[in-house]
Amino acid sequence: MTKVRPLIAVVDDEQSVCVALQRLVRSADMDVETYSSGEEFLQAVQTHEFDCVLLDLHMPKVNGHEVLSRLTQFSTRLPALVITGHDTPEGRGRALSAGAAAYLLKPVDGRTLLDAIAQRLLSKPVSSLRAYSCHYGYLRRHSHGGTGAASCHNPHFRNLASSSADP
């Protein structure tokens, strides 16, 4: 079965954050699954094909740093976008050196987060992106002046936007 929409995982021990991020990501025509712990997510990652994970660093038991470490051990190339309310230079450095694709601070701006997700998804081979109609819808909704220039100013994004009319 061909995947029609990207599947994004949200991992945060605060339910209100999970709900808010779930609504935001769904508004961009992506599927979302939420997890209230690192343990729960690590079990799910073995049976699900996530396209990106939004990951809180500070959670009980298995924290975001441990999740990043285990993802590396699984040899998965799953992009992890860290979203934290506890920014420290040490935490930032540790997350980025462990493979986080982005490090964002709470409260995160919705447009900034959606752009970060889209950038990570668009780093996949173009052939796999053609199945994801939501990327092109997102680009059209967030383009500047209808030209297809992406709001995140990513040249790869702009190139895909200009070719999106051709399936």
The pTM (predicted TM-score) of the whole model is 0.77
CA gap 13, 38 in Å, rounded: 9
For residues 121 and 160, is the Cβ–Cβ distance under 8 A? no
Q: How confident is the model at residue 141 (pLDDT cuts 50, 70, 90)?
A: low
- pLDDT at position 76: 73
CA gap 9, 41 in Å, rounded: 8
Q: How confident is the model at residue 123 (pLDDT cuts 50, 70, 90)?
A: confident
Q: What is the mean pLDDT of residues 43-67?
A: 95
Structure tokens at 114: 């959606």
Domains of the chain as residue ranges with CATH = 7-125 (3.40.50.2300)
Q: What is the mean pLDDT of residues 82-102?
A: 95
> 11 — phi, psi (to 5°)?
-125, 110
Bridge partners (DSSP) of residue 149 are 144
**Residue % of the chain over a pLDDT of 90:** 63
Q: What is the mean pLDDT of residues 47-68?
A: 95
Q: How confident is the model at residue 145 (pLDDT cuts 50, 70, 90)?
A: very low
